[in-house]
């Protein structure tokens, strides 16, 4: 049996831990051979491979990023995409694919399995934690840790100058990182995409915080939008590669806070620092367990399946369940955390 492995979409701390677990168990327990595909779906599309064996995965457990490279290439948008993939897999003698990715990568894997008979197993990955059917994705804990540390640091400089510090964190469609890091870091306001915000309300919270002689920290997810619609706080544009680029909600909000409260405000955009570097211990643990279970799915011929965390157990779910809809922050959870606002 030869198993192909690819990592697609935005990178995420813990990807290498999955790859290592898949290869270690696959070789040692089942005697499988492996083919690494470069840059997500680009690899099987163009037949670009990297050697993947025990020596290739040595020492990669604590390393961020992915030794296989990643891309947002979608073969369903490429000319003859499906045929090129099936031809390349046949030519390379690859019998099954372990696809490690988020919504897009797993969506493609689902269709390849269901409609074209390509045997794929899915491993969920995203720092955003917004994939359904799994309680957590690896990478999220690391991102929350990085954002929390940044918020801790920003408290002291905010207090020294009695300024508002606005921290923009990742989260295009969901506010999980903002919610967890904001709560852990003692933020005074947390703004998430699921709950359009009222700029006047934010300013009222900021003002009440100053009245209590504290400098406020506002955590805003990059995809958060204002309720009043009169402010274009979010700039959504396409870059040269056709990807949606969000910019500026943090900075625009800070300017608006200054204008409406008369208090000085500064913005910190954490950006890709949340995705880089070594995974937390928890993410290494989760990613490793996902990898071990994913290769068992291959052994069992259980394709179209994704491994998922439910409670403390790793379970198998239909891959389609993870991509059918995003897992967003429920209103009652946001309300619960809202007791700390202001």
Q: Give the interface segment with ligand F6P, choosing from 117-125, 149-157, 169-177, 277-285 (CB under 6 A).
A: 169-177
238 binds ligand F6P (CB under 6 A): no
Tell which residue, 312, 277, 309, has the closest CA to residue 294: 309
Tell which residue, 107, 116, 117, 97, has the closest CA to residue 72: 107
Q: Give the interface segment with ligand F6P, choosing from 82-90, 116-124, 165-173, 202-210 (CB under 6 A).
A: 165-173
From the list 11, 39, 104, 128, the catalytic residue is 128
**Among residues 36 and 124, whose Cβ is nearest to ligand F6P?**
124
Q: Between 196 and 225, how does the x/- string for binding to ligand F6P read (CB under 6 A)?
A: --------------------------x---
- In sequence order, what are the residues at sequence separation of 6 or more whose Cβ sits closer than 8 angstroms to the Cβ of residue 128? 102, 137, 140, 170, 171, 172, 173, 174, 176, 177
Contact 216/261 with Cβ under 8 angstroms?
no
141 binds ligand F6P (CB under 6 A): no
Residue 122 Cβ vs ligand F6P, minimum distance, rounded to whole Å: 16
172 binds ligand F6P (CB under 6 A): yes
Among 89, 127, 189, 206, binds ligand F6P (CB under 6 A): 127
Interhelix angle 281-300/140-161, rounded to 10 degrees, is 160
**Interatomic CA distance for residues 299 and 116, integer angstroms:** 20
243 binds ligand F6P (CB under 6 A): yes
Q: What angle do CA 294, 300, 302 make, to 5 degrees?
A: 70
204 is written with which tokens? 């009222």
Q: Has 128 been annotated as catalytic?
A: yes
The length of the chain is: 342
Give catalytic residue positions.
128
Q: Which residues are annotated as a binding site for diphosphate?
A: 10
Contact residues for ligand F6P, defined by CB under 6 A = 10, 102, 126-128, 170-172, 222, 243, 275
């Amino acid at each position: 049996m030869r198993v192909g492995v690819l990592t697609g979409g935005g990178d995420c701390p813990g990807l290498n831990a999955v790859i290592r677990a898949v290869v270690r168990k696959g070789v040692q327990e089942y005697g499988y051979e492996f083919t690494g595909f470069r840059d997500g779906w680009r690899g099987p599309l163009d037949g670009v491979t990297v050697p993947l064996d025990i020596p290739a995965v040595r020492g990669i457990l604590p390393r961020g990023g992915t030794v296989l490279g990643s891309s947002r290439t979608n073969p369903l948008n490429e000319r003859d995409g499906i045929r090129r993939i099936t031809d390349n897999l046949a030519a390379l003698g690859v019998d099954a694919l372990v696809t490690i990715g988020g919504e897009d990568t797993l969506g493609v894997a689902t269709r390849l399995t269901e409609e074209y008979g390509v045997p794929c197993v899915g491993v969920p990955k995203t720092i955003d934690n917004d994939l359904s059917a799994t309680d957590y994705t690896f990478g999220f804990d690391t991102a929350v840790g990085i954002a929390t540390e940044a918020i801790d640091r920003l408290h002291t400089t905010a207090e020294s100058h009695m300024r508002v510090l606005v921290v923009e964190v990742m989260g295009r469609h969901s506010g999980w990182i903002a919610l967890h890091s904001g709560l852990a870091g003692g933020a005074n306001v947390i703004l998430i995409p699921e709950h359009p915000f009222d700029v006047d309300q934010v300013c009222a919270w900021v003002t009440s915080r100053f009245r209590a002689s504290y400098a406020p920290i506002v955590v805003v997810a990059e995809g958060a939008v204002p309720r009043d619609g009169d402010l274009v706080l979010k700039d959504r544009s396409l870059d040269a590669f056709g990807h949606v680029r969000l910019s500026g909600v943090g900075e625009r909000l800070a300017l608006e806070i200054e204008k409406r409260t008369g208090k000085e405000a500064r913005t910190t955009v954490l950006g890709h620092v949340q995705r880089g570097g070594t995974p937390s211990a928890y993410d290494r643990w989760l990613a490793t367990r996902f990898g071990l279970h994913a290769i068992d799915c291959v052994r069992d011929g259980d394709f179209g399946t994704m491994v998922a965390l439910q409670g403390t157990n790793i379970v198998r779910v239909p891959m389609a369940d993870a991509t059918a809809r995003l897992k967003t922050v429920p209103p009652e959870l946001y309300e619960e955390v809202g007791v700390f606002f202001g």
